């Protein structure tokens, strides 16, 4: 009797869950949620086709160096690279002397303490130093950027979905807010101090357009510095900062696959040799 009652209670519980699920699904189908401004006007980045993409991808050091120049002259005033050291630049083709010069001439110096007075001081950067933050702390960073905290860019292309394409799209995506958006969603008008960018999650971003004109950076190799080119190059540089060993990892993967193919062939040959005289 107790067992029968338990079965009936369980059956009733399952029935209630089924009815609730059916009601929820029916309601969602008959009365779908209204589309938000973000869902309707948000755009998705397209593939910019960097040489580092794909299984056999490798960095184009000339492009990565151009991207570093864009970071140095445009982005470094607000964004840090706290996981990257100056000496890491040797991996993208800079010589030891060039790395030392870059570190020594970097505008922002390393914070330190004067050993004689005990007061805060600064010193020149050396290759082993990581890129210094443009602000002494978060409070100062927010105070200088309308209370918005500029994110560290070291791992940005890993921290965002479709990161490298997202960075390029964001940098080139600033535009006037569409009139249709304001008509359809009056409450979605871009607030004062923010900037409309359809590639940003909520369409409005605190960062003003960093790339404002062609030729903003004078490339050392003579490449035409259009806004699109500068955005591509700095995207390539930030792909490298997020995964500097990408080329070595791809090479190791290819070598491993070749080894496994050879090993499989040798195992098959050994099997055939050992069992060649055995009749089935």
- Taking each helix axis from N to C end, the angle separating 227-242 and 163-172, rounded to the nearest 10 degrees, works out to 150
Q: Which two tokens stand for residue 26?
A: 């029916």
Look at residue 123 and give its three-state secondary structure.
Answer: strand
SS3 state of residue 257: helix
Q: What angle do CA 167, 134, 66 make, to 5 degrees?
A: 45
75 has binding-site annotation: yes
Annotated binding residue at 207? yes
Phi, psi values for residue 225, rounded to 5°? -90, 70
**Alpha-carbon span 155 to 135, nearest angstrom:** 19
Report how far residue 105's alpha carbon sits from residue 87's, in angstroms, rounded to the nearest whole number. Answer: 14
Q: Can you give the length of the chain in residues?
A: 280
Q: Rounded CA gap, 133 and 145, in Å?
A: 14
Q: Is 156 annotated as a binding residue?
A: no
Q: Is 78 annotated as a binding residue?
A: yes
Tell me the two tokens of residue 275.
């069992």
> Helix or strand or coil: residue 122?
strand
10 touches 3 (CB < 8 A): no
CA dihedral 200, 237, 80, 170 (to 10 degrees): -10
Query: Residues comprising the binding site for heme c?
Result: 75, 78-79, 207
């Amino acid at each position: 009797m107790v067992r029968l009652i338990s079965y009936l209670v369980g059956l009733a519980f399952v029935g209630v869950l089924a009815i609730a699920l059916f009601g929820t699904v029916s309601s969602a189908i008959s009365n779908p949620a209204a589309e938000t401004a973000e869902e309707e006007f948000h755009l998705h980045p397209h593939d910019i086709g960097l040489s580092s993409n794909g299984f056999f991808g490798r960095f184009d050091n000339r492009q990565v160096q151009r991207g570093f120049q864009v970071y140095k002259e445009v982005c470094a005033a607000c964004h840090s690279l706290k996981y990257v050291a100056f000496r890491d630049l040797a991996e993208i083709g800079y010589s030891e002397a060039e790395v030392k010069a870059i570190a020594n001439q970097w505008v922002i110096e390393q914070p330190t303490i004067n050993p004689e007075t005990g007061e805060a001081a600064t010193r020149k950067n050396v290759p082993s130093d990581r890129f210094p933050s443009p602000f002494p702390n978060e409070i100062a960073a927010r105070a200088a950027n309308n209370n918005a905290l500029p994110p560290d860019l070291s791992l940005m292309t890993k921290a965002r979905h479709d990161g490298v394409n997202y960075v390029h799209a964001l940098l080139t995506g600033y535009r006037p807010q569409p009139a249709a958006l304001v008509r359809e969603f009056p409450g979605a008008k871009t607030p004062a101090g923010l900037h409309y960018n359809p590639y940003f999650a909520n369409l409005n971003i605190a960062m003003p357009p960093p790339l404002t004109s062609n030729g903003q950076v004078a490339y050392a190799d003579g490449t035409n510095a259009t806004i699109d080119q500068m955005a591509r190059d700095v995207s390539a540089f930030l792909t490298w900062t997020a995964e500097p060993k990408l080329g070595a990892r791809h090479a190791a993967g290819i070598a491993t696959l070749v080894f496994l193919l050879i090993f499989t062939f040798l195992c098959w040959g050994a099997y055939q040799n050992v069992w060649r005289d055995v009749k089935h």
